[in-house]
Amino acid sequence: MSARIAVPVFPGTNSEDETLRLLRDCGGNAELVHWSQADSLAQYDAYVLSGGFAYEDRIRAGAIAAHDRMMDTVIEAAGNGKLVFGICNGAQILLEAGLVPGTGSIRRPTAAFTRNAPAPHFVCRHVYLKLAIEPARCAITAALPEDAIVPAWAAHAEGRLAAAPEHLREIVAGGHLAFIYAHSTGAVDQAAVPNGSALGCAGLVNREGNVLAIMPHPERDAWNFNHLDRREGDDVLATSGGSALFRSFVQALAS
């Protein structure tokens, strides 16, 4: 029987359906798990935390959801080596829970995805993520090629990596900087960064390599119908570039 993937739904989650559909299109055995079903989460083999506005992003994005009882199960599962993948609000929750970069104690975050800069406005922009680690450093990226470029959409008001200088140094030295913003060619400069993120960070991985948090949404650039030019051919349901990371995730579970 294939590994079971849970997509937890917190109060305010709003990208769960696209996430679920793409996981299934990539061969994953995925199901939505509503917060009222929290007791069932332990039965699953992996977890994908999708985007949204959990608990209205009160205090700061992800701060309340990180203390939701669903996260008790996710934190325990991550400690036991299960794969955990967070996207946008899901990524913010993972940082607030201390799972990523994982350089401090649980629920004592050492970094956060906070208000965009220089202007603290909501950003909606097509972006490219460049893999900044060896693929095998993270189980979820292991099937990607070296220096992989993944198209996605940045859609957030709080996506800027912020941390004290010593913690930024820990992130670099520990190999936690999983993805950086880049141009479609792979070139890297400040113009490619939509939110002022420290280190040009678009995603972080924990020390053990089983928890990945990324801010942009690859599931919003994952099918041919997301492209007006139908670049992937006439089949509007054909998967496109953003699906690569989801396929890698599903392959990691299969192996």
Range scoring the smallest mean pLDDT among 82-86, 92-96, 220-224: 220-224
Query: Which is catalytic among the residues 18, 96, 158, 219?
Result: 219
Catalytic residue list contains 217 = yes
Residue 123 buriedness (CB in 10 A; 0-12 / 13-18 / 19+): buried
Quote the longest CA-to-CA distance of the chain. 50
Query: Which is catalytic among the residues 18, 26, 176, 217?
Result: 217
For residue 74, give both structure tokens: 């996710």
Which string of b and e fits 137-174 if b means at least 16 CB within 10 Å? ebbbbbbbeeebbbbbbbbbbbbbbbbeeebbebbeee
- What's the CA dihedral at 143, 87, 124, 245 to 10 degrees? 10
Query: Which is catalytic among the residues 88, 96, 138, 201?
Result: 88
Determine the pLDDT at residue 203.
Answer: 98
| Tens of pLDDT, residues 34-84 | 999 999 999 999 999 999 999 988 888 999 999 999 999 999 999 999 999
For residue 246, give both structure tokens: 């989801």
| Tens of pLDDT, residues 110-150 | 999 999 998 889 999 999 999 999 999 999 999 999 999 99
CATH of the domain at 128: 3.40.50.880
Nearest to 240 by CA among 176, 151, 131: 151
Interatomic CA distance for residues 237 and 250, integer angstroms: 19
Catalytic residue list contains 134 = no
Task: Quickly list DSSP for 134-178.
Answer: -GGGSGGGTTSPTT-EEEEEEEESS-EEE--HHHHHHHHHTT-EE
Q: What is the mean pLDDT of the chain?
A: 95
Please report, as a single letter, which amino acid is at residue 30: A
Whether the upstream peptide bond of residue 218 has omega within 30° of 0, thus cis, is no
DSSP structural state of residue 131? E
- This prediction has a pTM of 0.96
- How many C-beta atoms surround the C-beta of residue 48 within 10 A? 26
Whether the upstream peptide bond of residue 101 has omega within 30° of 0, thus cis, is yes
DSSP structural state of residue 60? S
Q: Which domain holds residue 191?
A: 4-254
- What's the CA dihedral at 68, 74, 79, 84 to 10 degrees? -130
Contacts of 128 (CB under 8 A, 6+ apart): 149, 150, 151, 152, 181, 182, 183, 184, 192
Domain count, the chain: 1
Catalytic residue list contains 76 = no
Average pLDDT over residues 218-239: 83
Whether 29 shows a pLDDT value over 90: the answer reads yes
